Structure 1
Amino acid sequence: MIQVTPQMRILVAVAPADFRKGIDGLARVCRDVLRQDPFSGYVFVFGNRRRQAIKVLIYDGQGFWLCQKRLSKGRFPWWPHSESEATDRLQAHQLAVLLSAGDPTAAQGAAAWRRVDGGAPE
Structure 2
Amino acid sequence: MFSLTASDRFYLYPYPTDMRKSFYTLSGIVTNQMGMDVQDGDAFVFINKLCTAMKILHMEYGGLVIYHMKLSGGQFALPAIDFQEGKTVSHETLWSDLVLMVQGIDAQKTRYRKRWIPEKKNTV
1:63 corresponds to: 63
Deviation of 1:103 after TM superposition, in Å, equals 2.4
Percent sequence identity over aligned pairs: 21
CA contact (8 A) 1:30 1:38 kept: yes
Q: 2:66 is aligned with what amino acid?
A: L
TM-score by length of 1: 0.82
The CA deviation at 1:95 is: 1.4
TM-score normalised to structure 2 length: 0.81
Match for 1:113 among 82, 107, 118?
A: 118
Bigger shift: 86-95 or 9-18?
86-95
Contact 2:13 2:44 in 1 (8 A): yes
1:98 aligns with 2:101: yes
Per-residue CA deviation, residues 46-66 of structure 1 (Å, 9 max, x unaligned), is: 000111111000001310110
State the AA in 2 paired with 1:89. Answer: E
Name which one, 1 or 2, has greater alpha-carbon Rg.
Answer: 1
Partner of 2:35: 35
Task: Give structure 2 stretches of 5+ with no counterpart.
Answer: 120-124
RMSD of the TM alignment (CA)? 2.0
Distance 1:16 1:88 in 2: 13
Task: Look up the SS of the partner of 1:39 in the other structure.
Answer: helix
Letter in 2 for 1:59: M
Give the deviation of 1:4 after TM superposition.
3.0
Deviation at 1:32, TM superposition (A): 0.6
What corresponds to 1:52 in structure 2? 52
Give the conservation status (yes or no) of the 8 Å contact 1:52–1:74. Answer: yes
